[in-house]
């Protein structure tokens, strides 16, 4: 015996009532019947949804900078930090004239997240030195095939016309913390900025 947690199970003889089974069946049916009048613990998702926490971590976004260029420099730190090995990428070198597309000299030609592997821990967001990847309050859609859960840049990179507002999932404390660290990603949305944004872009 390796631990003292094991228990000896005795084989108790069943009584006559127990051998008849019917009392146990009626007892079970009574429990089922009483549940008909109790408030259901389940909801009809996805038609109905519960209210999520303000810091809910959902579908990722790859952010653009204030000029619309992709922030990600394909450094791979998010992939290294990811405990689920859900992130893969292929880097490429920015060519002259592509400065408006990519912020850094190296960028992610391919960037994919396997949403079936992802556990939405947020480590990729924490690891990113370029404020490029964030989890948002959006839910990942349901699909019928595994392939559709591999999210590429066409889904992950935010649209220039409708940038993703990250302030929605920031509590005042989190927002203050990020401002203190001179994070600039919410500049577009933060009307009441308290500190001047520094050089960490």
What residue ranges bind ligand SF4 (CB under 6 A)?
A: 72-78, 81-84, 86-87, 89, 108, 113, 118-124, 127-128, 130, 132-133
Q: Please say which residue, 125 or 190, places its beta carbon nearer to ligand SF4.
A: 125
Q: How far is the CB of 83 from ligand SF4 (least distance, A)?
A: 6
Phi-psi region of 117 (alpha: psi -120 to 50; beta: other; left: phi over 0): alpha
Nearest to 89 by CA among 101, 99, 77, 100: 77
Q: How far is the CB of 62 from ligand SF4 (least distance, A)?
A: 6
Q: How far is the CB of 77 from ligand SF4 (least distance, A)?
A: 4
Q: Please say which residue, 132 or 179, places its beta carbon nearer to ligand SF4.
A: 132
Are 164 and 136 in contact by the 8 Å Cβ rule? The answer is yes
Q: How far is the CB of 137 from ligand SF4 (least distance, A)?
A: 14
Q: How far is the CB of 179 from ligand SF4 (least distance, A)?
A: 20
Nearest to 157 by CA among 103, 116, 97: 103
Q: Please say which residue, 42 or 142, places its beta carbon nearer to ligand SF4.
A: 142
Beta-carbon count within 10 A of 10 CB: 6
Q: Please say which residue, 129 or 198, places its beta carbon nearer to ligand SF4.
A: 129
Q: How far is the CB of 90 from ligand SF4 (least distance, A)?
A: 11
**Between β-strands 106-114 and 150-151, what pairing exists: parallel, antiparallel or unpaired?**
antiparallel
Q: Which residues pair with 91 in a beta bridge?
A: 108
Q: Please say which residue, 20 or 116, places its beta carbon nearer to ligand SF4.
A: 116
Are 86 and 117 in contact by the 8 Å Cβ rule? The answer is yes
- What's the half-sphere exposure (Cβ side, CA atoms, 13 Å) at 81? 15
Nearest to 75 by CA among 104, 99, 97: 104
3-state SS, residue 78: helix
Q: Please say which residue, 18 or 126, places its beta carbon nearer to ligand SF4.
A: 126
């Amino acid at each position: 015996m390796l631990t003292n947690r094991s228990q000896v199970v005795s084989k108790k003889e069943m009584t006559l009532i127990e051998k008849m089974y019917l009392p146990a069946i009626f007892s079970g049916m009574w429990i089922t019947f009483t549940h008909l009048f109790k408030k259901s613990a389940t909801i009809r998702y996805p038609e109905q949804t519960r209210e999520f926490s303000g810091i809910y971590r959902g579908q990722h976004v790859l952010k653009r900078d204030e000029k619309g260029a992709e922030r990600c420099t394909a450094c791979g730190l998010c992939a290294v930090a990811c405990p689920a090995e859900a992130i893969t990428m292929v880097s490429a070198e920015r060519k002259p004239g592509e400065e408006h597309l990519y912020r850094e000299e190296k960028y992610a030609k391919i960037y994919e997240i396997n949403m079936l592997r992802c556990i939405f821990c947020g480590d990729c967001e924490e690891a990113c030195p370029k404020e490029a990847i964030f989890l948002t309050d959006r839910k990942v859609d349901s699909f019928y095939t595994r392939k559709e859960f591999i999210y590429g840049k066409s889904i992950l990179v935010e649209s220039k016309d409708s940038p993703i507002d990250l302030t929605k999932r920031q509590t005042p404390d989190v927002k203050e913390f990020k401002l203190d660290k001179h994070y600039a990603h919410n500049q577009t949305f933060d009307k009441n900025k308290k500190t001047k944004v520094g050089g960490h872009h």
